[in-house]
Homo-oligomer: A and B are copies of this chain.
Amino acid sequence: MTHQAYRDHTDILAASPGTEDKSGEAVRPCPQNPAISCSGCRLSDLCLPISLNKGEIRQLDDIIERSRPMRKGEHLYRQKDNFRSIFAIRTGSFKSYVLGPDGQSRVTGFYMPGEIMGMDGIADRHHSVSTVALEHASVCEIPFSQLEKLGQQLTNLQSRFIAIMGNEIVKDQHIHTLLSSYSAEQRLSSFLLSLSARYARCQLSPDRFILHMTRSDIGEYLGLTLETVSRIFSAMQKKGLINVRNREIDILDMARLKAIVGES
């Protein structure tokens, strides 16, 4: 394994990136360093604090509750829960999903460090989806009532938050067109490119990463069956576009991948 350095991306985000361990869980130092703050967070230029000055960030810091690290499979909140807070991911990744009337789940999104979860509960004060950690993870909890209050004082914060919601709407529209008109191969190409770009945003390798979700999760998200996901991955590998080894993805030909979805 020549690429051990990238084995677990969260290593890079953790407090002591030098420590490596094979299990990926036991030895790693707790990412919940009590000294963390928005101004010290390496994600601050992707997250809510963008465009805030130091004083403003300090005020935002004051209302943020940095909760305990979460284990894989642990829920952040569930469908129907009362809405109290939105959450910014510090480390790890999450999926959101809903349960259909027949009891089977439908994945509605994947979330990575620096991204905001919980906005599904703003409208009617109850969450409309459930959110679960796909790996060890940690989040910043931002009580919404306090965010609203602070937003009234800090114009920049208010605008920033509204922009984040606006961006969510644009992303949802993009997913809408993807689901309504893309082939299975286009959907998966687009999915991989999205992950790649988001890993790059976190200063992680854009062409070699781990899928923390199952094939079934991906299928539910993209409107495909898990078998189709698997088959398309295999076909892409055969074409020399990617290398798939279990959950490990190597993007070999980014340009051709982009061509598949129609991005020049």
A residues at B contact (CB < 8 Å):
98, 100-102, 106, 108-109, 119-124, 128-129, 148, 151-152, 155, 158-159, 161-170, 172-173, 175-177, 179-181, 220-223, 262-264
Q: Taking A172-B176, A223-B179 as contacts, is the C-beta distance between A122 and B155 under 8 angstroms?
A: no
What chain B residues lie within 8 Å of A124 (beta carbons)? 167, 170
Which single member of B152, B161, B173, B263 contacts A98 (CB below 8 Å)?
Answer: B173
Which single member of B148, B162, B173, B262 contacts A172 (CB below 8 Å)?
Answer: B173
In the assembled complex, the CB of A251 is this many whole angstroms from the nearest CB of chain B, namely 21
Verify A175–B176 contact, CB threshold 8 A: yes
A147 — nearest CB in chain B belongs to which residue?
A: B162
Verify B120–A169 contact, CB threshold 8 A: yes
Verify B177–A106 contact, CB threshold 8 A: yes
A165 to B128, CA, bound (A): 14
A148 to B156, CA, bound (A): 11
A177 — nearest CB in chain B belongs to which residue?
A: B106
Verify A108–B176 contact, CB threshold 8 A: yes
Which single member of B129, B173, B220 contacts A173 (CB below 8 Å)?
Answer: B129
Interchain residue pairs with CB less than 8 A apart (10): A98-B173, A108-B173, A119-B169, A128-B173, A148-B155, A151-B158, A152-B155, A172-B172, A180-B222, A181-B220
What chain B residues lie within 8 Å of A172 (beta carbons)? 169, 172-173, 175-176
Verify A120–B180 contact, CB threshold 8 A: no
A262 — nearest CB in chain B belongs to which residue?
A: B101
What chain B residues lie within 8 Å of A180 (beta carbons)? 106, 179, 220-223
A106 to B100, CA, bound (A): 26
Q: What are the 9 closest A-B residue pairs judged by CB atoms, nearest first?
A: A122-B166, A180-B223, A172-B172, A123-B166, A179-B179, A101-B262, A123-B167, A106-B177, A165-B165
Verify B177–A176 contact, CB threshold 8 A: no
A129 to B102, CA, bound (A): 35
Verify A100–B175 contact, CB threshold 8 A: no
What chain B residues lie within 8 Å of A264 (beta carbons)? 101
Verify B123–A163 contact, CB threshold 8 A: yes
Q: Taking A101-B262, A221-B180, A223-B179 as contacts, is the C-beta distance between A159 and B148 under 8 angstroms?
A: yes
A181 — nearest CB in chain B belongs to which residue?
A: B106
A159 to B177, CA, bound (A): 29
A179 — nearest CB in chain B belongs to which residue?
A: B179
What chain B residues lie within 8 Å of A122 (beta carbons)? 162-163, 165-166, 169
